[in-house]
Amino acid sequence: MIIMLLGYGAKNIWSFKDWMQVDLSLNKLVPSDVSMNLPAATAMCFKGANASGKTNGIKVLAFIVDFLTNSFSYKPKTPIHYDSYFLSDEPAEIYLQFLIDNNEYLYEATLTNEKIISEKLSLNSSLIFQRDSDIVTKNTLYSGNKEISFRSNVSFLSTLNQYEIPEIVSIHRYLSIIVFNVGYSGHNSFDYYDYHIVAKRYHELPDIFDSVKKIIKQYDTGVDNIEIKDKTDEAGNLFYYPMFIHENDEGQKIPLLFEKESKGTQTLFRILLNFFITLHNGSLLVLDEMDEYLDPEILPHLLNFYITEKNNPKHAQLICTLHTPDVMDVSGKYRTYIFKKIKNESICYRLDELKKLRNDRSITKEFKKHLIGGYPEIEQTQ
């Protein structure tokens, strides 16, 4: 069974005036060592200068997924939470394309902050559901006699999940386990991701924790071991925390708290949880600024978790933004999007759209020569 994101896009949203489209699909012309004989890339890296639209490109996906899964929790008349291009009054358009059990779904919607204008769901190119305003005009998606009321600010998938319609269980589950570190306000630094919660999850998932320890010990040679401890506070609440064990020159084991570790080790402790959970589930991980606080030498190894068949038998996917250009030589032209901004409007394109690029040559050199776009153009100051 193959479950994968194929692509997504939007128009008139954040810094994208016209259509932005992220296509993860791979055709038969893509070398098999890149495609792993799968219909879509298992990793996609977003690269571009500061303020080029990389984070907005991820925010679009985060918005679509949240709208489809969680909008029933919105209060009635709560605005649909996105920003149009320079606060335009025109509707936004969005789409999401994905595979579940080898069936291809395409979700499309036109909406404003106040209401949904239309929603559609197609299965293998055939329309199976359509909603215009609050009226269902096409439905071969689900059956039954339940009286379902559709609200103007709630997606039909979120509504049907609330009504426990069995036909959408697999779709809702796939979308609901996608992991993001970005939301409406942008990138959420891992400084704000409570390491006590992460430690509790490692306590619950010892096999994943064993894998994480091996990686951290490999990249921080000063760490001899990591232990998850628990403690009860004055209010009687149990919480978990990591203890990093170091060995000094005399062979003594020195325990250090999380706060005493380097930013890089702290970041790995946090993000590797989601790496291994998504690899285990065969799900999607979406990270803004994946290289935050990390040594550039580590990044290709993190990417290899997803782009190597041996490491990724369940076809998990990773979408990330990066500042480090050298990673493009690992992701290659089929798994790299360039973002750039022209007169305050963001655009993006996958590097294999540039016919002159070869996948067996360094993309970083072309990038730094300003030959493929997205490289910062900074004027020299006197």
CA distance 152 to 112: 10
Question: Residues 247-258: what's their mean pLDDT?
Answer: 92
- For residue 347, what is the enclosing H or E element? strand 345-350
CA distance 266 to 264: 5
Tell the CATH topology of 3-178+283-368: Rossmann fold (3.40.50)
Domain boundaries, the chain: 3-178+283-368, 191-267
Whether the pTM exceeds 0.75: the reply is: yes
| pLDDT band, residue 381 (cuts 50/70/90) | very low
Residue 249 has pLDDT above 70, yes or no: yes
Q: Are 269 and 275 in contact (CB under 8 A)?
A: no
- Determine which of 238-247, 321-330, 367-376 has the lowest per-residue pLDDT on average: 367-376
pLDDT for 190 equals 52
- How many Cα neighbours within 13 Å face the side chain of 49? 16
* DSSP class per residue in 208-276: HHHHHHHHHHHH-TTEEEEEEEEEE-TTS-EEEEEEEEEE-TTS-EEEEEGGGS-HHHHHHHHHHHHHH
pLDDT for 363 equals 82
Residue 382 has pLDDT above 50, yes or no: no
Residue 98 CB burial class (10 angstroms; 0-12, 13-18, ≥19): buried
- Determine which of 32-36, 185-189, 192-196, 354-358 has the lowest per-residue pLDDT on average: 185-189
Q: Are 64 and 141 in contact (CB under 8 A)?
A: no
Q: Are 308 and 275 in contact (CB under 8 A)?
A: no
Mean pLDDT (the chain, rounded): 92
Residue 169 has pLDDT above 50, yes or no: yes
